Amino acid sequence: MTYQAIDGAVLSVVNSDHADPFSILGIHSAGPDGGVAIRTFLPHALRVDVIDPQGAVLAPMERIHQHGFFIATFPKATDRFPYRFRLHFWGGGTAEMEDAYRFPSALGEMDQYLLAEGTHLRSYEKLGAHPIVLEGVEGVAFAVWAPNAQRVSVIGDFNEWDGRRHPMRVHHSCGVWDIFVPHIGVGAHYKFEIRGPHGNLMPAKADPYASWCEMPPHTASRVYDLTRFQWTDGAWMNNRFNTSTRDKPISIYEVHLLSWRRNPEQGFRSLSYRELAEELVGYIKDLGYTHIELMPVNEHPFVGSWGYQPIALFAPTSRLGEPDDFRYFVDKCHEAGIGVILDWVPGHFPEDAHGLGFFDGTHLYEHMDPRQGRHSDWGTLIYNYSRGEVQNFLLSNALFWLEQYHIDGLRVDAVASMIYLDYSRNPDEWVPNEFGGKENLAAISFLKRVNEMVYAQHSGAFTCAEESTAWPMVSRPTYLGGLGFGYKWNMGWMHDTLRYISKDSIHRRFHHDDLTFGLLYAFHENFILAISHDEVVHGKGSLISKMPGDEWQKFANLRLYLTFMYTQPGKKLLFMGSEFGQTSEWNHDDSLGWHLLQYPIHDGARSCMRDLNALYRKTPCLYERDNEGEGFQWIDCHDHDQSILSYVRRGVDPNDFVVVVCNFTPIARKDYRIGVPSEALYNEIFNSDAAIYGGSNVGNAGAVLANPVPMHDQPYSLSLILPPLGAVIFKLAAG
């Protein structure tokens, strides 16, 4: 057969621009005269034989194009039949293989319908790369959404990264391309080669649904089998609902896994997921935290983004191990009674060429208009929440972490950047919504849907918003008009109190309101009091460095501040290292300063944190009514001259309450009187100035008896000794 006589479709396959290769390749009717023809394109083969499943040669194939297009006809065949190929190579040697083009699609009609509709809540089970057995043959089913592409191929180490070898079939109803590639499995590296709508070849794209990625800075996706891991956390999962509700203690240790602790004996590398499962989990359990919050573990190309510019939303970073290694870490957290919260970033994604940007030659995931589709602050792209398929991608991802990794909570990053169209933009840099407002209606709808699905489908799981504005009802149910989050970070409390505590004590009397203002809105939302990573980077210094005075005063202020935090309404969150007085600002390329714990004052701060967590967990009045005004009562919030605050925290049981007094000056106060409701003995159950913490041990000898001296509208009062830069907590003596 001459070159001129080659069918145009065959030439199109050879040139790798055929839009429907499955209509040409594989086994098909040979034409009106009957029989079947088997066609294949194998550019690396010298000769090809068609063989039966037992290896017997059925027919040699004819090379009809010099670049490796082969055909064999079977005039007497009346139907499709099983076959394989035996390849003979130019340098000698042979190999046998299945024909990827003889297999049907692994994508069912209902999957296609739901994907097109944007309602496939488990789209991660169909899109991406999945090891399966199809018609008795092991291999991997690949599928990717690229509705505007002219052609999509899967390329990888199994086909020499040659886009001509495995062009995919398209399902026009949903814009998804798929192919089953036989005899490859876990560990295979791959990407998608996409020819855009104008015939332009895109940079090779990583799989948006990849469950495993190549170690950065390399950028390939990798095949993984998520069905093999054996969970042992059934008891935790069955009881999880009792760990996260508003009337339960929640104290969170926020961690950047790559820099929590490094191994100095092995190139100062980060600890692996499995090492962290032993060392970090044991550390958190010892300190008494109820939850750990992980800064994003999703694969990210730029380590300096701390994970907040994720490139692969479905893959934990390979820097610390395989996906099942991360599951092992979560499993061990649950075994230790520790819930796992994951920072989740549906607000933006990086512009890296192998990522989601301009994915199929069009603005598929992001808005076309940069006024809606790009964050200039971060140099990132914004998801197009108006598109059903994009919403489905993100919603499916949220549910994926809860389902496949048993994550207990999602903390949604930068919510304000999602719900405001004018976020960090000048007046001419944003587009109003259809009603002329600045609210991003599509993003708001998406967030509500995420929250509804999380709470409906995963008992005990919860969501939390990092929302830095006064948007109303962030943590109220959607049926009441709220966004539906379970909790909201209290950014106002954090800024006010850090501003106060950083001032020299002589000036604090003029800023007393910084400590009391938060109680005006403390019950408007379900708040988490968060001292996060954002407060110890970018020149802000560590938490201990914010404290004024000499070393002793700095640590006294730290212990006082943490005690104040733990006795205020709201759940608690503290960034790693702050618990022992990390002196240097957090550096993601460095380890925490664990050497500091050799010094008693640092170890004392950590002991204080350990005891605060223990006290918090065993004292219901410190958490049961966090979101109810009845759970908090000022005794005296007006003593700004002496910079002293006193208040009561109450539980559901009327007899369950504690009295808290905080002295924000370095002057010990004697005979400081506060009103209390009953004539009884009050035990001093906590003193941040205790000698074991590095304090001066000024206190009340363990207990104080109330006497009938009216004070603060109460019939009785306590005469107290207040430690310098210290907080004391009292509880009614039993009996």
Taking the C-alpha atoms of residue 258 and residue 276, their distance in angstroms, rounded to an integer, is 10
Start-to-end CA span in the chain (Å): 103
Taking the C-alpha atoms of residue 283 and residue 285, their distance in angstroms, rounded to an integer, is 5
pLDDT at 735: 63
Beta-bridge mates of residue 312: 299
pLDDT at 15: 85
Taking the C-alpha atoms of residue 433 and residue 417, their distance in angstroms, rounded to an integer, is 15
The DSSP call for residue 357 is T
Give the tens place of pLDDT for each residue, 419-433: 999 999 999 999 999
Tell me the CATH architecture of domain 246-620. Answer: Alpha-Beta Barrel (3.20)
Chain length of the chain: 735
Beta-bridge mates of residue 129: 142
Evaluate whether 3-102 and 246-620 have a shared fold.
Answer: no
Q: Which of 360, 366, 413, 467 is catalytic?
A: 413
CA 449 to chain centroid: 18
Radius of gyration of the chain (CA): 31
217: preceding bond cis by omega (within 30 degrees): yes
Task: Please say whether the dihedral angle defined by the alpha carbons of residues 286, 290, 294 and 297, taken in this order, is positive or negative.
Answer: positive
Residue with tokens 């390939």: 220
Taking the C-alpha atoms of residue 723 and residue 718, their distance in angstroms, rounded to an integer, is 15
Taking the C-alpha atoms of residue 609 and residue 566, their distance in angstroms, rounded to an integer, is 10
Taking the C-alpha atoms of residue 624 and residue 653, their distance in angstroms, rounded to an integer, is 10
Question: Has 98 been annotated as catalytic?
Answer: no
Do residues 300 and 317 touch, judged by C-beta distance below 8 A? yes
Q: Which long-range contacts (CB under 8 A, 24 or more apart) does 643-646 make?
A: 643/505, 643/508, 643/509, 643/512, 644/669, 644/672, 644/722, 645/515, 645/516, 645/564, 646/674, 646/712
**Which residue, 471, 536, 576, is CA-closest to 260?**
576
Angle formed at CA 302 by CA 140 and CA 351, multiple of 5 degrees: 75
Taking the C-alpha atoms of residue 395 and residue 488, their distance in angstroms, rounded to an integer, is 20
Residue with tokens 């044991």: 282
Give the tens place of pLDDT for each residue, 201-210: 999 999 999 9
The CATH code of the domain at 629-732 is: 2.60.40.1180
* Cα pseudo-dihedral 512, 517, 523, 524, rounded to 10: -160
Q: Where along the chain do its domains lie?
A: 3-102, 109-222, 246-620, 629-732
Compute how many other C-beta atoms are within 10 angstroms of the C-beta atom of residue 522: 22
E-strand stretches of 240-279: 251-255, 262-263, 269-270
CA distances from 658 to 10, 299, 549 (A): 82, 45, 30
The DSSP call for residue 707 is B
**Which residue, 505, 568, 556, 485, is CA-closest to 531?**
568
What is the number of alpha carbons within 13 Å of residue 407 lying toward its C-beta?
27
Beta-bridge mates of residue 218: none
Taking the C-alpha atoms of residue 7 and residue 1, their distance in angstroms, rounded to an integer, is 10
**Which residue, 303, 310, 308, is CA-closest to 216?**
303
CA 604 to chain centroid: 32
Tell me the CATH architecture of domain 109-222. Answer: Sandwich (2.60)
Q: Which two tokens stand for residue 295?
A: 């800064």
Enumerate residue ranges in the chain where pLDDT < 50.
Answer: 1-6
Q: Which two tokens stand for residue 374?
A: 């790009």
Tell me the CATH architecture of domain 3-102. Answer: Sandwich (2.60)
E-strand stretches of 269-357: 269-270, 291-294, 298-299, 312-316, 339-344, 349-350
The backbone torsions φ and ψ at residue 237, rounded to the nearest 5 degrees and listed phi first, read -65, -35
Taking the C-alpha atoms of residue 110 and residue 112, their distance in angstroms, rounded to an integer, is 5
Q: Which two tokens stand for residue 291?
A: 């939850």
Q: Which of 325, 466, 525, 624 is catalytic?
A: 466
Question: Has 331 been annotated as catalytic?
Answer: no
DSSP string, 593-630: -GGGGGSHHHHHHHHHHHHHHHHHHH-GGGTTTTTSGG
The DSSP call for residue 436 is S
Looking at the chain, the number of H-run helices and the number of E-run strands are: 14, 38
Compute how many other C-beta atoms are within 10 angstroms of the C-beta atom of residue 229: 16
CA distances from 553 to 148, 661, 694, 696 (A): 64, 18, 10, 11
- Residue 419: helix, strand or coil by DSSP? helix
SS3 of 22-67? HHCCEEEECCCCCCEEEEEECCCEEEEEEECCCCCEEEECEEEECC
Q: Which long-range contacts (CB under 8 A, 24 or more apart) does 559-562 make?
A: 559/605, 559/608, 559/688, 559/689, 559/693, 559/694, 559/695, 559/726, 559/727, 560/662, 560/663, 560/664, 560/688, 560/725, 560/726, 560/727, 561/497, 561/501, 562/608, 562/609, 562/612, 562/688
Beta-bridge mates of residue 180: 141
